[in-house]
Amino acid sequence: MRKITILLTFLLFVGMQFANAQQRTISGKVTSAEDGTGIPGVSISVKGTVVGTVTDINGDFRMDIGDLHEILIFQYLGMKTQEVEIGSGTTFNVILETDALLMEEVVVTALGITREKKSLGYATQQVDGDDINTIKNDNFINNLQGKAAGVNIKVNNNLGGSTNVIIRGSSSLTGNNQALFVVDGVPISNNLVTESGQISGRNGYDFGNAASDIPASDIESVDILKGAAATALYGSRAANGVIMITTKKGSKGRGTKRWGVNLSTSATVGLMDKSTFPAYQKDYGAGYGWFYSAGPDYPGLERDYDINGDGELDLTVPTYEDASFGQKFDPGLMVYQYNSYDPASPKFKTATPWVAGENGADYFMQNTWSFTNSVSIFGGGEKATFRLGYSNTTATAMMVNGNLNNNSLDFSGSYEIVKGLTASAKLNYISMKGKGRNSTGYSDNILSSFRQWSQVNVDYKEQEALYNDNTRNITWNPNSPSDLAPAYWDNPYWARNQNYETDKRSRLLGYAMVDWEINDHFSLMGRFGFDTYSYLIEDRKAIGSASGEFGVGRNDVTSGYSRKTILYSETNTDFMARYHNNWEHFNISVLLGTNIRRQNNESIWESTQGGLIVPGLYSLGNSLDPQAPPVERKATIGVNGYFANVSVGFINQVYLDGSVRLDKSSTLPADNNTYVYPAISASWLWSELLKNSDWLQLGKLRAGYAQVGNDAPFAAINDTYSQNPSFGSVPLFSLPSTKNNINLKPERTSSIETGIEMTMFNSRFGFDIAYYKNNTTDQILPVAVSTATGYSYKYVNAGEIQNAGTELLIFGAPVVRNKFRWDITLNWAKNVNKVVSLDEGLENLQLASLQGGVSINARVGEPYGTIQGKDYVYNDAGQKIIGSDGYYLRSSTSDNVLGNINPDWMGGINNRFSFNHNWVVSFLVDWQQGGSIFSLDQYYGLGTGLYEETVYTNDLGNPVRNSLDDGGGLILDGVMNTGTEDEPVWEANTTRVHGDDYRVFGWSRNPNAAFIYSATYIKLREVVISYSLPSKMMANSKALHAVSFSLVGGNLWIISKDLPHADPEASQGAGNVQGWQSGVAPSMRTIGLTVNVQF
């Protein structure tokens, strides 16, 4: 880490060297107070001039200073700056001390304003750009996992999938709870492109978060502003916290060069973590039981067809059943399987042994590869800087025919037009292309077939060959020997190669800015920031595919083409005037500003109707039936904001900060669209009182209170009608399902926050602890109402959510030797979320109703996101009651709280070892404790008998799937009432139930509660080994400046988890509906090698 900082610093300051002219030479050595070694790369300059140099690898320096003789400044990131009078001296040996405030002395706050961290009355956390550029994946956000306290980052494993970023808990009942992303002070879109249906478990694709477009290689640092106090200046959208991204800017080159070049290349391979993929039983094949037509000898098979043409009916497999609760395998038993039905199959009319497929579903999964290459050229002189960066990432999917390709071209530059007046601009063009993203959700998702609906007798290598040789949908799941169309599932190779989506996003974002420092006290800033993209999403279903919901209207069809275009733009126009002044014991800064935001989000979605006519032609014109009208949407939003901020500091010890913002929003009723909200915070550096203490370097107490107002979603005020496809020539219009509300008022979040920061023992130990409580009230939400009202939802101002929590950041350096250093950083956060109230008379707000009969809800008195469904029935002693049939009783109602999506706490611990200044080894362990998941994969997969848990030896020593007569079956754990209803007598259950009946393990006979799992996990998130070529070697090189290699492992080991066969983090995508898994992607262990070269 430090090595890289050294190099960066070197780059920053070395360029000043060439400007000198005269003859007087001074020299010296800069050493560290910590271990006495020389520090390379310390910048030394003569105050008020551009004359300067940096120390060499040993910490030595030499420079010509001409006739200057005032003050030398020694600066090094993370160390206290020293000023030394030059006078007539020629040798300067300087010892630099570690800065108590560490490297984050300066933080980036709202609107891109940099502030001294010590003056802040609220918590922020900075993550260095290199830390989010370790694992090369398609989304830099993922690399924040475990690195920031109080930031709940949930990564699913979908290709290019969206990442859920929740800071300090969910505060909005139905609105957006994702953090706001800001690049260089300008908000950018982090829209989830996903359809709402997909989020709540219908089939679809996870198109990721728009913020992930930003290439990690362009990121200098990320600041996380957690509380409302930190974000008051962004207004409404910042109520969920802000991820502030500072991108790399131009600077002077190395040595006397005015420019430099950075190159980075990396290759990463991903290997499936098998603990997150189904493990199948190997004893029973296709079917649901013993009732098929082949008779008592082979009750799991059929005898209805003559396959080989010998005039006798043959034993066939019930291929249309997507379950594995059928006939027991027997290598001696020859049966006709799906591969004997199709003339194209090598096994046509051939019986094959009845055994488990040699190549199971894991054969289908492949290693992923991703390659990231980036190059940047930067440079500058006294007045101008520029940086031109290009980066490309390609990634392949874990299933065939899927990849992502992201190209980013970024230019930023600045020029000082006249003294004090700087114009700067940034333009970033991003082209993101996706192909073959994996489907998510319950149906039409290969992974839900693998996890829920499959036959373990299928050999996927054979499926691959049959597809590749014929390019036809020869599926393992045909209706029958006489009807080879798929019953439910395609050949997965057909599905991947023929029924794939493609998407293409072209994006341009950036800003133009003018900064004018009128004098030492006044400055003005004007900035126009923009983010605009067009996004085209196309989806295909080839003729001959299994039926599935598709296109506009989402009818079940067997082929189709769908096309969606999204045009998005956001502009922010900001003006700020700043004044600051310092007196001896007092300083003040005042900021006045305005922010004019406009957003436009348009989309049009069209699809074929009823299927396709010409195979392989994916055009809207190729529609079997006349097309349904497209779904069109155009949402325009505007907010005009005005804000003021005053900061006052006394004797460098006490800081007070107050701000107020007024917003006028287009989405609220015209007579009530203006709202004002204040924020105030204070910090006290009490360590200033103990200035001479040896053990204490920093002690700070901080506290703040803030409010944030929020407006309504687009078009929630006035009622409109919705149009349905015309019936012949009769237009059809309908009332919408949501009743809008002309009386909406702004919603509010109030928060308090307090914290203590301490750094001690020569900066080898420190911590930052924060406590906060946020209440969001008067929420604008569409409450679900009984449809007997004629509507499904009604917009109201109602409800309150409280989030209270504690965050802890501890860092320490247990060992610091000459050439060895061990750092530990620990993040820990606990957030307690509670739904305080909903609309009057309303106890529960359903966020989503999901397959399996469970729902995700906001329930009064419970944390946000309860998972509700059918529970067991318990007696007074809390034992599960078994009914007279030997199966569990189930509650009659489906609104029982079975769990909730919120973790109890989350933490991460990072150990970092550096040797000899050029080796660094670090590993990060990430821990989430608690939270619940309803696994639809287990709910169905256990029922269909896929998983290994459904085959075992029972208490009698026999296979559980034997018939009861054969000593099979099982006795469920619970109690039975042997008394009367009024006077129950509870005795342990002794009723043996069929183990050969598919109902016993899965959905059919068990309550939802049986499939609730803890989401707890402990993961070895990241392991980094990096090596930099020794600085000495570099110092001798004319061309090269720095070379480093790093080997990075991601998600190498799930140390502990409760959820079988899946990654507890996996989901259908980001959003408010979490805690439900269906057909989720397995997690990949990634190993990547990166080479960085700087010239």
Hey, which residues between 688 and 747 contact other proteins (CB under 8 A)? 714-715, 717-725, 727-737, 739
Among 890, 1021, 1061, 1085, contact with other proteins (rule: CB under 8 A): 890
User: Binding segment for other proteins among 57-65, 156-164, 664-672, 824-832 (CB under 8 A)?
Assistant: 664-672
CB 529 within 8 A of CB 497: no
Question: Is residue 554 involved in binding other proteins (CB under 8 A)?
Answer: no
- 1037: contact with other proteins by CB under 8 A: no
Comparing CB distances to other proteins, the nearer of 343 and 841 is: 841
DSSP, collapsed to helix, strand or coil, labels residue 133 as coil
Taking CB under 8 A as the rule, does residue 835 contact other proteins? no
**Complete DSSP assignment for 824-841:** EEEEEEEEEEEEEE-STT
984 near other proteins (CB under 8 A): no
Of positions 302, 462, 501, 753, contacts other proteins by CB under 8 A: 302
Q: What does the per-residue mask of binding to other proteins show for 200-239, with x meaning CB under 8 A?
A: ----------------------------------------
Q: Are 277 and 1082 in contact (CB under 8 A)?
A: yes
From CA 1069, how far away is CA 931, in angstroms rounded?
17
Q: Which listed residue (60, 64, 220, 304) binds other proteins by CB under 8 A?
A: 304
The only residue of 58, 894, 958, 962 in contact with other proteins, by rule CB under 8 A: 894
Tell the smallest beta-carbon distance from residue 729 to other proteins (Å): 7
Element spanning 954, H or E:
none
Binding mask 514-553 for other proteins (x = CB under 8 A): x-x-------x-x-x-----------------xx-----x
Does 196 bind other proteins (CB under 8 A)? Our answer is: no
Of 693 and 723, nearer to other proteins (C-beta) is: 723
Q: Select from 430-438, 996-1004, 1051-1059, 1079-1087 the region that touches other proteins (CB under 8 A).
A: 996-1004
Interatomic CA distance for residues 632 and 159, integer angstroms: 27
Compose the 561-600 pattern: x for residues touching other proteins by CB under 8 A, - for all others: ------------x-x------------------x-x-x--
Which C-beta is closer to other proteins: that of 8 or that of 784? 784
For residue 631, the minimal CB distance to other proteins (Å) is 9
State in angstroms the smallest separation of the CB of 718 from other proteins: 7
Binding of other proteins at residue 297 (CB under 8 A)? Answer: no
Is residue 296 a contact residue for other proteins (CB under 8 A)? no
Give residues 627-656 in contact with other proteins (rule: CB under 8 A).
627-628, 632-638, 640
- 87 is a site residue for other proteins (CB under 8 A): no
> For residue 489, how many other CB atoms are within 10 A of its CB?
27
Q: Is 290 in the site for other proteins (CB under 8 A)?
A: no
Should residue 472 be labelled a site residue for other proteins when binding is judged by CB under 8 A? no
Q: Decide: is 611 part of the binding site for other proteins (CB under 8 A).
A: yes
3-state secondary structure 760-798: ECCCCEEEEEEEEEEEEECCEEEEECCHHHCCCEEEEEC
Q: Please answer whether residues 751 and 777 qualify as being in contact, where contact means their C-beta atoms are separated by less than 8 angstroms.
A: no
Using CB under 8 A, which of the segments 94-102, 234-242, 268-276, 846-854 binds other proteins?
Answer: 846-854
Residue 1012 binds other proteins (CB under 8 A)? no
N-terminal to C-terminal alpha carbon distance within the chain = 19
Choose which of 350, 792, 806, 991 interacts with other proteins (CB under 8 A).
Answer: 792
Q: Which stretch binds other proteins (CB under 8 A): 253-261, 399-407, 621-629, 1051-1059?
A: 621-629
Q: Mention every residue, 6+ apart, whose C-beta is less than 8 A from residue 46.
A: 52, 65, 68, 70, 71, 72, 73, 86
C-beta closer to other proteins: residue 692 or 786: 786
Question: Rounded to whole angstroms, how far apart are CA atoms 987 and 723?
Answer: 60
Q: Closest by alpha carbon to 180, among 151, 145, 206?
A: 151
User: Which of 284, 271, 289, 457 has the alpha carbon at shortest distance from 361?
Assistant: 457
Of 485 and 701, nearer to other proteins (C-beta) is 485
Strands (E) in 124-247, as ranges, are 124-128, 151-155, 163-167, 180-183, 186-188, 204-205, 219-225, 242-247
Q: Given the rule CB under 8 A, which of 502-510, 766-774, 838-846, 923-931 is the region that contacts other proteins?
A: 838-846
Which residues in 862-881 contact other proteins (CB under 8 A)? 870
Interacting span for other proteins (CB under 8 A) from 273-281, 666-674, 1021-1029, 1031-1039:
666-674
Count, residues near other proteins per rule CB under 8 A: 113
Give the SS3 label for residue 462: helix
The closest of 622, 346, 626, 587 to 465, measured between CA atoms, is: 346
Q: Which of 728, 957 has the CB closer to other proteins? A: 728
Q: Please tell me whether residue 416 binds other proteins under the rule CB under 8 A.
A: no
Give the Cα separation of 224 and 242 in Å (integer). Answer: 6
CB 53 within 8 A of CB 20: no
Q: Are 944 and 453 in contact (CB under 8 A)?
A: yes
- Distance in angstroms (rounded) separating the CA atoms of residues 953 and 821: 54
Helix (H/G/I), strand (E/B), else coil: 119: helix
What tokens appear for 265 in the block?
A: 């290349």
Contact 527, 512 (CB under 8 A): yes
Residue closer to other proteins by CB (options 62, 633) is 633
The answer to whether residue 350 forms part of the interface with other proteins (CB under 8 A) is: no
943 is a contact residue toward other proteins (CB under 8 A)? no
Phi, psi torsion values for 16, nearest 5 degrees:
-70, -15
Does the protein bind other proteins through residue 798 (CB under 8 A)? no
Query: What Cα–Cα distance (Å) separates residue 934 from each residue in 275, 928, 940?
Result: 18, 17, 12
Instruction: Give 28's DSSP letter.
Output: E
Q: Which is nearer to other proteins, 255 or 853 (CB)?
A: 853
Please check whether residue 1037 is in contact with residue 976, taking contact to mean a CB–CB distance below 8 angstroms.
Answer: no
| Residue listed under structure tokens 């287009």 | 666
Q: State whether residue 593 is helix, strand or coil.
A: strand
Residue 676 in the binding site for other proteins (CB under 8 A) = no
Site for other proteins in 307-346 (CB under 8 A): 311-313, 318, 320-321
896 is a contact residue toward other proteins (CB under 8 A)? no
Cβ within 8 Å of residue 583, ≥6 positions away: none
